[in-house]
Amino acid sequence: MIEKVTDGVYRIEVPLPRNPLKYTNSYLIKGDKESLIVDTGMNREECYKALSLALKELDVVDPSIFITHLHADHIGLAGEFGAKEVFFSKTESEIVLKMLDDPSEYWRTILENYMANGFPQEEAKKMLKLHPGIRYTSMEKIEFTELKDGDEIEIGDFRLKCLETPGHSPSHMCLYDEDRKVFFSGDHVLIDITPNITWWPFLDNSLKSYLESLDKVCNLDVNLVLPGHRRLWKDLRKRIEEIRRHHQARLKEALMALDRPKTAWEVAPSITWDLVYSNWEDVNVVQKWFAVGETIAHLEYLFKQGVIEKEISGDGKVRYFRS
């Protein structure tokens, strides 16, 4: 599906089969002589076919690519189109290249932390076969054009300012065209659903970073928000306020669950998730993974705020408890 959203900007719906996100919004910014793709979808045949056909229909050859962040549903095809340039955050480009150098070490660190937070070992090992970041990310070593906060990309008469917004990922980047009042939000701000804010080994306090990143973009003069998933909308500030309230409610749920010292795995079933299930045991292991990661992020936020304490027990598990 291709939709013209404003002059020179097209939304391309890139399908994500058997994924609750349903599709990634890939955007084509088309100038007179050059074009820019914002995000690509996963490295899988269905995504490649959809994006290729859209580019052909829009008569685009040799576009550059901008990647908002390192998740597979955004970076997956970055190395598959022979792009003139692939623009990417300096911080996340270094993470991706290091991961490609030694993927086993990268994922060992992630798995060990999840297991320390109570995720069962056998369930965690399943994630090595199921995690989209392992199955569908780009395996190509790309020569990225590295970006930092405040850099600008010019495509025709579009002048796109890069805004670093860590939280959903270690160095997520949005694009903002001040003249057109258009904001490419990636997964930093979504409508209908909230971005997953999980534990990262690269962020000291991912929820704190995320909330600060919401503050950073809240007062931008925006008439149109172009997100990485779901529908477009106009009122950025209103949605940010809704997301702030969402996380305050989730923090309260996490705190109330600590009637005794608990791991994140034990706290997660007490939190309200946007999933259809009767029992926690029935939840798909991939969804449990994302839920526990978000639970860790909220418990760590409470711990860093001095609201709760944590300890490493004799069994090696991290448990949180009220002060």
Confidence at residue 99, expressed as pLDDT on a 0 to 100 scale: 87
For the chain, the straight-line distance linking the first and the last C-alpha, in angstroms and rounded, comes to: 52
Residue 92 lies in a domain: yes
- Counted domains in the chain: 1
Residue-level pLDDT, tens digit, the chain, 323 residues: 899 999 999 999 999 998 889 999 999 999 888 999 999 999 999 999 999 999 999 999 889 999 999 999 999 999 998 888 999 999 999 999 988 888 888 889 999 999 999 999 999 888 888 888 888 987 678 899 999 999 999 999 999 999 999 999 999 999 999 999 999 999 999 999 999 999 999 999 999 999 999 999 999 999 999 999 999 999 999 999 999 999 999 999 999 999 999 999 999 999 999 888 888 888 999 999 999 999 999 999 999 999 999 999 889 999 999 98
Confidence at residue 277, expressed as pLDDT on a 0 to 100 scale: 84
Residue 59 lies in a domain: yes
Residue 253 lies in a domain: no
Instruction: Provide the CATH number for the domain around residue 75.
Output: 3.60.15.10
Residue 301 lies in a domain: no
Confidence at residue 162, expressed as pLDDT on a 0 to 100 scale: 98
Calpha distance 192→182 (Å, rounded): 19
The rounded radius of gyration (Å) of the Cα atoms in the chain is 20
Confidence at residue 140, expressed as pLDDT on a 0 to 100 scale: 74
Contact 320, 261 (CB under 8 A): yes
Residue 67 lies in a domain: yes
Calpha distance 214→196 (Å, rounded): 14
Calpha distance 73→228 (Å, rounded): 9
Residue 172 lies in a domain: yes
Torsion of CA 83, 138, 275, 68, to 10 degrees: -40
Residue 51 lies in a domain: yes
Confidence at residue 251, expressed as pLDDT on a 0 to 100 scale: 98
Return the amino acid letter for 186: G
Coil/strand/helix, residue 86: strand
CA distances from 56 to 50, 85, 252 (A): 10, 19, 49
Confidence at residue 18, expressed as pLDDT on a 0 to 100 scale: 87
Calpha distance 123→308 (Å, rounded): 28
Phi, psi at 72, each rounded to 5°: -60, -30
Residue 82 lies in a domain: yes
pTM assigned to the model = 0.96
Enclosing domain of residue 206: 2-101+135-245
